[in-house]
């Protein structure tokens, strides 16, 4: 017994030594960060392992954001069924199309395409703002909208008479980010772009998103490299394209050359001075000062790969802080076209991360689809837009670029707020019990589409300490839970408890505990939206 106790003490001490930063949700990062992945892991074709799902915290703090059911992180037990959801394309697509001279250079294609670039809602100006690529990638253009659907292209003074904000030679992808956390007004907007002329990337800053600082050159990277902000850890993350040699999972169908697009990871607290990674070579493990090997497509992206097929590749990864987690849009390239003159086939799929590095991708269907009709805006190469999504009332607005044989445009897809996944029950009642959670607020809210929902509060051992709430029967993205035996949950603040949801004929998308009766989640609101005043939801009801 003494030797066993000693062994347990040694293991516990080793875990403490290996522990790093503790996140807002109780996840403890390893001391070595970012984690060191190997080329063999990426080449294996196995899905990325997610440590916090295998070993979740014993008590999960839930003060930050709406709590989503995209994985089992919060779930101790359930008889409900999880269902993932796709976006619906806006009937009037595309919402942004080329109609200016610099958007229609010969030869085709004409272009008004956000190739990541960015779409944000600016609470200062109360405008939707989008940046996009004109014809032949000759710069970065800018447009504004009051509703996110109808766009105006203002005449600016960068190149007088045009809406060009920066002249870039021949650029590839670019990301513009509205930084509402900065204390430097000259860096309110950040820009990262890849230049095909010199095959390098640069970073820039701007007070208004229209007038940019001179280029500060980054380490070498591949084209279609992007960046995003992780608000939970206050770091800028560069999502850098890499290429890797094929692994055994593609049945050795392709000669041994660099074929697989993948991603490397570089983070920094200082956007301008921190983009200083060492040049890296594709198909090699990461060395000191080089961006870490990160993520790639895997065999679940290519379930039908056979002897004559190459597997799918990860063309791009954009991400954003959404409520209580990082939302990622994975552009997955499939090797075969489906029709004549069809651009590359890229599916836009979703992934979720609670530590900012490890991605859980449980749903391998396109949430923004490619069309089979040659004359449609999204006939091929559908790609994500920087900022990923905006919150507009009860909806999420996802913008995406699409291409056909002659024109590159930008379209809109719509999803219910928090609507990535729902936990559902039919006529027979089902239950969901959370793991132990801790909160400092006092008002419970849910996003649900209901026949009927009731909630109990349990102690850590599963004993009922607050019996059934009043039943809810509405379809709303923000609705308060009222209690028969208590005014609110203030008596349980700071204590580990479990919620048990009883659901019949309905779908539960999210729950959260707010300090305010408005239902403010204090989670992050992605690229913003009307009614929000900053990077987080401090308002609750926005309409």
pLDDT band at 11 (very low <50, low <70, confident <90, very high): very low
Q: pLDDT: is 487 or 256 the higher one? A: 487
Helices and strands, counts by H and E, the chain = 3, 38
Predicted confidence (pLDDT) at residue 234 exceeds the cutoff of 50:
yes
What percent of the chain is modeled with pLDDT above 90? 79
Please say whether the beta carbons of 154 and 169 come within 8 A: no
pLDDT band at 74 (very low <50, low <70, confident <90, very high): very high
Predicted confidence (pLDDT) at residue 9 exceeds the cutoff of 80:
no
pLDDT value at residue 18: 66
Predicted confidence (pLDDT) at residue 254 exceeds the cutoff of 50:
no
pLDDT band at 3 (very low <50, low <70, confident <90, very high): low
pLDDT value at residue 168: 83
pTM of whole model > 0.85?
yes
pLDDT value at residue 369: 85
Tokens at residue 516, please?
């305010």
Could you tell me the domains of the chain?
A: 2-54 (no CATH), 64-84+421-525 (2.60.120.260), 88-416 (2.115.10.20)
Predicted confidence (pLDDT) at residue 256 exceeds the cutoff of 60:
no
Q: 265: closest CA among 326, 214, 336?
A: 326
Predicted confidence (pLDDT) at residue 10 exceeds the cutoff of 50:
no
pLDDT value at residue 6: 52
Please say whether the beta carbons of 226 and 386 come within 8 A: yes
Tokens at residue 249, please?
């999972």
pLDDT value at residue 7: 44
pLDDT band at 87 (very low <50, low <70, confident <90, very high): very high
pLDDT value at residue 344: 86
pLDDT value at residue 2: 52
Q: What is the mean pLDDT of the chain?
A: 91
Predicted confidence (pLDDT) at residue 535 exceeds the cutoff of 60:
yes
Please state the rounded mean pLDDT for residues 518-525. 98
Predicted confidence (pLDDT) at residue 253 exceeds the cutoff of 70:
no
Per-residue pLDDT reduced to its tens digit, 269-312: 999 999 999 988 776 888 899 999 999 999 899 776 555 567 88
Please state the rounded mean pLDDT for residues 463-480. 96
pLDDT value at residue 159: 94
pLDDT band at 166 (very low <50, low <70, confident <90, very high): very high
Between CA 134 and CA 140 the distance in angstroms is 7
Per-residue pLDDT reduced to its tens digit, 351-362: 999 999 999 999
Q: pLDDT: is 192 or 137 the higher one? A: 192
Between CA 246 and CA 318 the distance in angstroms is 24
pLDDT value at residue 13: 42
Q: pLDDT: is 181 or 380 the higher one? A: 181
Tokens at residue 3, please?
């030797």
Please state the rounded mean pLDDT for residues 258-273. 89
Predicted confidence (pLDDT) at residue 243 exceeds the cutoff of 90:
no
Please say whether the beta carbons of 114 and 132 come within 8 A: yes
Please state the rounded mean pLDDT for residues 404-427. 97
How buried is 7 (Cβ within 10 angstroms: 0-12 exposed, 13-18 middle, 19+ buried)? Answer: exposed
Per-residue pLDDT reduced to its tens digit, 27-39: 999 999 999 999 9
Q: Which single residue is written with the structure tokens 């030797």? A: 3
pLDDT band at 341 (very low <50, low <70, confident <90, very high): confident
Please state the rounded mean pLDDT for residues 13-42. 86
Please state the rounded mean pLDDT for residues 508-528. 98
**Can the peptide bond before residue 56 be classed as cis, meaning omega within 30 degrees of 0?**
no
């Amino acid at each position: 017994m003494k030797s066993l106790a000693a062994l347990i003490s040694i293991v516990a001490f080793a875990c403490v030594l290996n522990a790093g930063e503790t996140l807002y949700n109780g996840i403890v990062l390893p001391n070595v960060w970012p984690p060191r992945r190997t080329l063999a892991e990426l080449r294996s074709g196995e899905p990325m392992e997610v440590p916090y799902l295998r070993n979740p915290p014993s008590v999960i703090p839930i003060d930050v954001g709406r709590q989503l059911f995209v994985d089992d992180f919060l779930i101790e037990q359930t008889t409900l069924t999880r269902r993932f959801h796709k976006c619906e394309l806006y009937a009037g697509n595309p919402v942004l199309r080329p109609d200016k001279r610099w958007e229609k250079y010969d030869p085709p294609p004409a272009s008004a395409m956000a190739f990541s670039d960015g779409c944000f809602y600016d609470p200062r100006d109360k405008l939707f703002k989008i940046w996009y690529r004109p014809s032949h990638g000759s710069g970065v253009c800018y447009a504004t909208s009051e509703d996110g659907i109808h766009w105006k292209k203002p005449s600016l003074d960068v190149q007088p008479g045009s809406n060009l904000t920066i002249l870039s030679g021949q650029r590839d992808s670019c990301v513009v980010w509205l930084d509402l956390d900065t204390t430097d007004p000259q860096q309110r907007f950040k820009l990262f772009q890849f230049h095909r002329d010199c095959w390098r990337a640069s970073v820039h800053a701007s007070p208004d998103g229209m007038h940019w600082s001179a280029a500060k050159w980054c380490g070498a990277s591949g084209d279609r490299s992007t960046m995003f902000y992780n608000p939970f850890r206050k770091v800028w993350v560069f999502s850098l394209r890499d290429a890797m040699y094929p692994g055994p999972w593609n049945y050795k169908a392709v000669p041994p050359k660099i074929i697989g697009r993948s991603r490397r990871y570089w983070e920094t607290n200082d956007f301008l001075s921190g983009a200083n990674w060492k040049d890296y070579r594709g198909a090699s493990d990461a060395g000191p000062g080089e961006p870490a090997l990160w993520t790639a497509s895997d065999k679940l992206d290519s379930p039908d790969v056979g002897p004559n097929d190459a597997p799918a590749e990860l063309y791009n990864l954009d991400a954003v802080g959404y409520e209580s987690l990082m939302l990622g849009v994975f552009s997955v390239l499939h090797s075969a076209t489906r029709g004549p003159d069809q651009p590359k086939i890229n599916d836009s799929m979703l992934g979720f991360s609670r530590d900012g590095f490890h991605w859980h991708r449980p749903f391998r269907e396109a949430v923004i689809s490619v069309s089979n009709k040659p004359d449609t805006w999204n006939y091929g190469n559908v790609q994500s837009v920087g900022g990923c999504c905006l919150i507009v009332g009860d909806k999420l607005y996802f913008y995406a670029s699409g291409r056909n044989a002659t024109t590159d445009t930008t379209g809109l897809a719509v999803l219910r707020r928090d609507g990535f996944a729902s936990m559902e029950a039919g006529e027979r009642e089902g239950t969901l019990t959370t793991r132990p959670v801790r909160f400092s607020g006092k008002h419970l809210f849910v996003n649900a589409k209901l026949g009927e929902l009731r909630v109990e509060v349990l102690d850590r051992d599963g004993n009922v300490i607050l019996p059934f709430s009043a039943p809810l029967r509405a379809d709303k993205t923000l609705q308060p839970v009222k209690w028969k035996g208590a005014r609110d949950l203030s008596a349980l603040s700071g204590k580990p408890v479990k919620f048990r949801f009883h659901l019949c004929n309905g779908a539960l998308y999210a729950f959260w505990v707010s300090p305010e009766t408005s239902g403010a989640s204090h989670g992050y609101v992605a690229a913003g939206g009307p009614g929000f005043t900053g990077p987080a939801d401090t308002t609750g009801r926005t309409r």
